[in-house]
């Protein structure tokens, strides 16, 4: 398979999960494991451009696929606008759900460049966060969406004296 643009090949047990292959064989530890049941989304990666929960997929199922992880979305040292949005709008606290949340947000914005708040909330509802209450994650995605459209992002809601 190709991971973050680099070809990789390895022998693995048939039961090896894709997330364990990424984390333990390739040492790409930015993809996290939160629940092993496909519910929390911390392990979200892109397989051939689609968001996939890598704890529900065997490594062998991704044979020949093009896999992108959180380590692969910045380009030439420049943060992806979604990464920038999470930083600018305090879209993370402990950071554990963040890689999966960012991968889902990138996928959402690739299909909808002007999502409403409701569309953002439904677009990331497969990713659980226990720290932020999602308030600032919504703001982060709105920031990124504006940036990707070449527009000025909406002001942060803690600015202006509050």
Partner 1 sequence: MATTSVMGGVVKRREDPALIQGLGKYTDDFAPVGTLRVAFLRSPVARARITRLDTSRAKEIPGVVAVYTHDDVAHLGPLLAQVPVGKLRPLLAAGEVNHVGEAIAMVVAEDRYIAQDAVEAIEVDFDELPAVIDLRKAASDEVVIHEELGSNVLHTWTYHGYWEALGLEDQTPQVDEAMQREDAVVVSLDMVNQRLIPVAIEPRSVLAEYEPGYGRLTVHSSTQVPHALAGAIATQLEMSIRDVRVVAPEVGGGFGCKLNVYNDEILVAWASRELGRPVKWTETRREAAGATIHGRGWVATATLVGTRDGQFLGYKLEGIADMGAYSQNFTVAIPLLGLWIASGQYKMPVSWTVDCVVTNTMTTDAYRGAGRPEAIYYLERIIDAYAREIGMDPIEVREKNFWQPEEFPATLGCGFALDSGDYAAATQRLKEIADYEGLKRRRDEARAEGRLVGIGVGSYVEVCGFGPAVLADIGFSWSAYGLPSSFNGSGLVRVNPDGTATVIIGTGPSGQGHQTAWAQIVSDGLGIPLDDIRVHHGDSATSPMGIGTFGSRSLAVDGTATFAATEAVREKAAKIAAKLLEAAPEDIVFADGGAHVAGSPDRGVDWKAIAQAAYQGHTLPEGVDSGLEETIIHTPGNATWPFGTHLAMVEVDPDTGDVELLEYYAVDDCGNQVNPMIVNGQVHGGIAQGVGQALFEDAYYDQDGNLLTGSLVDYPIPTAADLPSFQLSHTVTPTPVNPMGVKGIGEAGTIGSAHTVVNAVVDALEPLGVKHVDMPLRPRKVWAAIQEARA
Cα separation, 154 vs 139, whole angstroms: 8
Question: Pattern of binders to partner 1 over 32-61, x per CB under 8 A?
Answer: xxxxxx-xx-x-------------------
Rule CB under 8 A: say whether 155 interacts with partner 1.
no
One of 48, 63, 113, 125 touching partner 1 (CB under 8 A): 125
Work out whether 67 is an interface residue with partner 1 (CB under 8 A).
Answer: no
Residues in the chain: 162
Helix H, strand E, coil C: the string for 42-108 is CCEEEECCEEEECCCCEHHHHCCCEEECHHHCCECCECCHHHHHHHHCCCCCCCCCHHHHHHHHHHH
The one among 18, 19, 67, 102 contacting partner 1 by CB under 8 A: 102
Within 10 angstroms of residue 112's Cβ, the number of other Cβ atoms is: 13
- Is residue 136 a contact residue for partner 1 (CB under 8 A)? yes
Beta bridge partner(s), residue 17: 58
* Using rule CB under 8 A, residue 63 touches partner 1: no
3-state secondary structure (DSSP) of residue 6: strand
Applying CB under 8 A, among 25, 58, 90, 146 the residue interacting with partner 1 is 90
66: phi then psi, degrees, rounded to nearest 5 = -105, 110
Contacts with partner 1: how many residues (CB under 8 A)? 62
User: Which residues of the chain form contacts with partner 1 (CB under 8 A)?
Assistant: 13, 15-16, 20, 23-24, 28-37, 39-40, 42, 69-71, 74, 79, 83, 86-88, 90, 92-99, 102, 117, 120-122, 124-138, 156-159, 162
């Amino acid at each position: 398979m190709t991971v973050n643009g680099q070809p990789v090949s390895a022998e693995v047990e048939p039961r090896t999960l894709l997330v364990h292959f990424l984390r333990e064989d390739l040492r790409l530890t930015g993809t996290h494991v939160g629940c092993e049941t496909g519910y929390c989304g911390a392990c979200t990666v892109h397989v051939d451009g689609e968001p996939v929960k890598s704890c529900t997929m065997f490594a062998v199922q991704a044979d020949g696929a093009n896999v992108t992880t959180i380590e692969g979305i910045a380009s030439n040292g420049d943060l992806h606008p979604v990464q920038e949005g999470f930083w600018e709008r305090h879209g993370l606290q402990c950071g554990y759900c963040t890689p999966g949340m960012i991968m889902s947000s990138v996928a959402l914005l690739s299909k909808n460049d002007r999502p409403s708040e409701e569309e953002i909330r439904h677009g990331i509802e497969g990713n659980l966060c226990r720290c932020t209450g999602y308030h600032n994650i919504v703001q982060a995605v709105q920031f990124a969406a504006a940036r990707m459209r070449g527009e000025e992002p909406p002001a942060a809601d803690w600015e202006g004296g509050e």
